[in-house]
Structure 1
Amino acid sequence: MIVAGIGSRKGVGEEQVLNAIRKTLAQYDLDPSRLDGLATATLKRQEAAIFSAARKLGLPVTIVDDDALAKAGAYVPSHSQLSLALTGAPSVSEAAALAAAGEDARLLGPRLLLDSVTCAVAISGERP
């Protein structure tokens, strides 16, 4: 399973989300068609751009609850004080990707920050 975790500032646009996903996947030479889904925090459940980007890609969005996000947050390389204060995880995108991809998931690398959107990719059960 391959999951892109998404974090963002409030009010970002669909193209900003899509660009962050594309750039992050390109870093790992992954085609967007390999994605199984997007994931984000409960805090972002009202962020329309994440859901419209998912629809455009034909992917489901997993909303990761705060407990699962905080648990996965113990395994992320990035650290944002704001994210930690708001969600209990030091990186929404990294923790959401890990939590949604499953127990044996690993991040392919640290999150990418592009135009107010962060994106991280987690993989489980296979190699890229």
Structure 2
Amino acid sequence: MALLGPDLALDPLTGDLAMSGGTFYLQTSPRQAVSIAIRFFVGEWFLDRERGVPYYEQVFVKSPNLQHVAALLRAAILAVPGIGELTQFTFQLVGRILRVTWAATTDAGEIGPVVEEVGL
């Protein structure tokens, strides 16, 4: 799932739009693109309902297939432009919270480890 162009910069702690003095900034970092890819639910984008991670259908279900969940998340991360390989990847699924820890090599060097949370 290649993401399109730069995104509005997000605060890495809150996930809110980052702004300074009333100005929004654009961001092209692979770290933010991975964060967006991990948090992107299938059906969320009106221009392509097939893009994203099928959280409702395959992750946040009773007795999910954890190997399949790992494959879905790895694929979402590796599809981000600029990500070379995952050097660390773990996840925990507790109730309605998914915590993903990842690190990767990029064209510009190493990223991570980074912890991302997705919840319902």
- Same fold (TM > 0.5): no
> TM-score if structure 1 supplies the norm length?
0.30
Of Structure 1 and Structure 2, the greater strand share is in 2
| Structure whose CA Rg is larger | 2
> TM-score if structure 2 supplies the norm length?
0.32
